[in-house]
Amino acid sequence: MSLRALMAPGELLIAPGVFDMISAKIADRMGFGALYMTGYGTVASSLGLPDAGLASYTEMVGRVATIAGGTATPVICDADTGFGGLLNVDRTVRGYEAAGAAAIQIEDQVFPKKCGHTPGREVIPVEDMVRKIRVAREARTSADFLIIARTDARTTHGIDEALRRAEAFARAGADVLFVESPESEAEMRQICASFDLPCLANMVEGGRTPLMTREELRQIGYRLAIFPATGFLSVAAVLTKAYGALREAGSSKGQGLELFPFSEMNTLMGFEWVWAFDKAHAE
């Protein structure tokens, strides 16, 4: 079933954030309808840098190819501002689609962008973002490759300006509307009530938007919800505990750590295929 079909009215598609191949492979086998390649987590895990427009198109499209190529679940991929002007957007859309992404997310921030739940975000003129969306539509080879248009106007310019921009994005041909960082349930309801297109909820633990349950999001009217930070925040917490215990005790033995079984990690990474290959080609 296509992503578009999974976001039918009354339905809610949940997409967990993935940021490397371990997180992607674990999420891939859990039966989600889609995965979300988070820009924050991908840049943090691959470069150790903040999500502040520092990763290049080449670096990000390479991660798209790795994650989409190593999973069976459709992957929604963060492309920041499209990595530049209209020619860059054209190249980015073509590259992400060719790399195996099922959908691309492009935002209206001024370059270099900032993480959506941090202060200081500025947006480009709405007409410039509309042109980016039109170029994105022209660049894709399949209508099944979805264009998610995000506006970051809410925090600096208010909800009315964010809604005005989202309406312009809808008219330009966006497939999904992403109004970033609404600050109340009332605003979230206003967003979903304003558009016939699917709207995306960005559920960031500790972010500016209230965290909602699946049923609450569905009742509000959202059709797609991403949880970009759940995975890497969980990993950071577990590693802090595990490494802290190792530092203090000098060993993992007897520390009561919750560890993924080594044998299951071998299965996850595909070692059975390696062993079968070695056996088949043994002299």
What are 215-243's pLDDT values in tens digits? 999 999 999 999 999 999 999 999 999 99
Q: What pLDDT, on a 0 to 100 scale, did the predictor assign at position 44?
A: 96
Q: Helix/strand/coil (H, E, C) string of the chain?
A: CCHHHHCCCCCCEEEEEECCHHHHHHHHCCCCCCEEECHHHHHHHHHCCCCCCCCCHHHHHHHHHHHHHCCCCCEEEECCCCCCCHHHHHHHHHHHHHHCCCEEEEECECCCCCCCCCCCCCECCHHHHHHHHHHHHHHCCCCCCEEEEEECHHHHHCHHHHHHHHHHHHHHCCCEEEECCCCCHHHHHHHHHCCCCCEEEECCCCCCCCCCCHHHHHHHCCCEEEECCHHHHHHHHHHHHHHHHHHHHCCCCCCCCCCCCHHHHHHHHCHHHHHHHHHHCCC
Percentage of residues in the chain with pLDDT exceeding 70?
97
Nearest CA among 89, 91, 82 for reference residue 39: 82
Looking at residues 194-216, what average pLDDT do you find? Answer: 97
- Is a pLDDT exceeding 80 seen at residue 54? yes
- All domains of the chain in start order, with CATH: 3-235 (3.20.20.60)
126 vs 140: CA distance, rounded Å: 22
pLDDT exceeds cutoff 90 at 192: yes
- Spatial distance between the Cα atoms of 87 and 95, rounded to a whole number of angstroms: 12
pLDDT at 258: 93
Average pLDDT over residues 142-155: 97
* Predicted pLDDT of residue 24: 98
| pLDDT band of 117, cuts 50, 70, 90 | low
Write down the mean pLDDT value for the chain: 95
Indicate if the pLDDT at residue 22 is higher than 90.
yes
Q: How many CA atoms lie within 13 A of 203 on its CB side?
A: 20
Instruction: Supply the angle between the helices 21-28 and 262-269 in degrees, to the nearest 10.
Output: 90
Q: Are 122 and 109 in contact (CB under 8 A)?
A: yes
Q: Does the pLDDT of residue 5 top 90, yes or no?
A: yes
pLDDT-derived band at 113, boundaries 50, 70, 90: confident
The whole-number pLDDT of residue 182 equals 97
Say if residue 116's pLDDT is above 70: no
Angle CA 179–182–187, to nearest 5? 100
Instruction: Tell me if the pTM is above 0.75.
Output: yes
pLDDT at position 118 is 67
Segment 137-161 shows an average pLDDT of 97
Mean pLDDT of the 61-76 span: 98
pLDDT confidence bin for 60, thresholds 50/70/90: very high
> What integer is the mean pLDDT of 21-28?
98
Mean pLDDT of 153-180: 97
